[in-house]
Amino acid sequence: MAGFGLSLDLDVRTTLGALHLEMQIRIEEGEVVALLGPNGAGKTTLLRAIAGLVALESGHVELDGEKLEDSATGRYVPTEERSIGYVFQDYLLFPHLNVQDNVAFGLRARGAGRRSRAGSRPSELSGGERQRVALARALAPGPRVLLLDEPLAALDASTRVAMRRDLKTHLASFRGVRLLVTHDPLEAATMADRLIVMEEGKHVQTGTPVDVTEHPRSRYVADLVGVNLYRGQAGHGSVQMSGGPLLAAAGAEAGDVFAVIHPRAVSVHRARPEGSPRNVWPGRAHGVELYGDRARVRIEGEVPIIAEVTPAALADLNLAEGGDVWIAFKATDVSVYPA
């Protein structure tokens, strides 16, 4: 097992079909890192590149100072010789082997002797049991890097909760580099110390789960955490949005900024509202989604925005029927930070 100070350094550039992957990241021992991004972002391709299953066009994969792959020198360490445990999305258990043989496979691939084998075949196991076997197989050889590709995606909702707890415990006990791929923000936030957001093969944002969710830097992240995100030029108490109105924003100073408004801060009216809100503009209600005791209303217009209202307000305003509306929110409800 790795000692103190183990790190994985990646400079990966490759093309696979329409995907152009270009990622530079460094992961230290002691942190659990989650790769978060939409389908097709390149998350799995990056894991496969680390494991040596996808060739690099340029760049390197370096583990604790040792180059596992380096396009500059032509060095390439075969997958089976890399100290990497890999849990695939669909687990990839061998159907003709029982549980013990599946777990022992990684050991035998690295030269360990055969062991006595007995037990169930993968087809006889539940989803949660297959996940545990896949994890045990990845950990059996004592790797220095653990890669997990959507490890809970194949599980039903009730099993996923229990397995998330189990997996978090396993990750905490593993002493090497830990990299988890997911598109589930809850999974990422509950298990990872740091998030790396990928979109279209590129590194978009990194930070703690709190940093990323409170300061989204792309529409994808904003949609994940359920907030309205805009970009514009700040100028002492306001933000001029590109192609849109001037947004009153308390605390805005100067420069290129992101502005975030929570849907709960947005009120919806059928007539232009009176009173103190400094941000008021017209739109058209277009689509309603129910979330427990709240309803999210998509409002199209010069600046599209999502408002969150109570079912009572939804009914009173007949928002489900669509139509012209006015929205309003206060300058103090706008969070502004540098872009």
- 174 with 31, same domain: the answer is yes
Q: Quote the pLDDT of residue 128.
A: 59
Task: Give residue-wise pLDDT tens across range 51-100.
Answer: 999 999 999 999 999 999 999 999 999 999 999 999 887 644 434 344 45
Q: What are phi and psi of 102, to 5 degrees?
A: -60, -45
Last residue of a domain, one of 200, 223, 246: 223
**DSSP bridge partners of 339:** none
* pLDDT recorded at residue 293: 85
In this structure, are 134 and 18 located in the same domain? Answer: yes
- Name all contacts of 154-163 with Cβ < 8 Å and 24+ positions apart: 154/89, 154/90, 154/91, 154/127, 154/130, 155/127, 155/128, 155/131, 156/127, 159/126, 159/127, 159/128, 162/128, 163/128, 163/131
Condensed to tens digits (0 to 9), the pLDDT of residues 184-235 reads 888 888 889 999 999 999 999 999 999 998 999 999 999 988 999 999 999 9
Residues 330, 284, single domain; the answer is: yes
Q: Are residues 55 and 68 in the same domain?
A: yes
**How many residues are there in the chain?**
339
Would residue 151 count as lying in a domain?
yes
Same domain, 190 and 253: no
Q: Is the pLDDT of residue 1 over 50?
A: no
- Residue 327 tokens, joined: 């929205």
* For residues 8-17, average pLDDT: 96
Q: Are residues 156 and 305 in the same domain?
A: no
**Same-domain check for residues 174 and 249:** no
One domain, residues 215 and 241: no
Alpha carbon 318 to its chain's center = 36
Report the interhelical angle of 127-139 vs 157-173 (nearest 10°): 20
216 and 233 within one domain: no
Continuous segment of H or E residues that includes residue 328: strand 323-329
CATH number, domain with residue 300: 2.40.50.100
Residue 13 maps to a domain: yes
Whole-angstrom distance, CA of residue 283 vs CA of residue 304: 8
pLDDT of amino acid 127: 55
Which residues form the domain of 245?
228-338
Residue 15: which CATH number? Answer: 3.40.50.300
Q: Which of 199, 223, 247 is the last residue of a domain?
A: 223
Query: Are the CB atoms for 252 and 238 separated by under 8 Å?
Result: yes
The answer as to whether 170 is a domain residue is: yes
Same domain, yes or no, for 118 and 245? no
**Best-predicted range by mean pLDDT (16-30, 184-198, 276-290):** 16-30
**Residue 126 one-letter amino acid:** S
Residues 123-140: tens digit of each pLDDT: 545 555 677 777 878 888
pLDDT per position as a tens digit, 134-165? 787 888 888 999 999 988 877 777 777 888 88
Q: Name the pTM for this structure.
A: 0.79
User: How many independent structural domains does the chain possess?
Assistant: 2
Same domain, 219 and 233: no
Task: Tell me the sheet residues that pair with 269.
Answer: 326
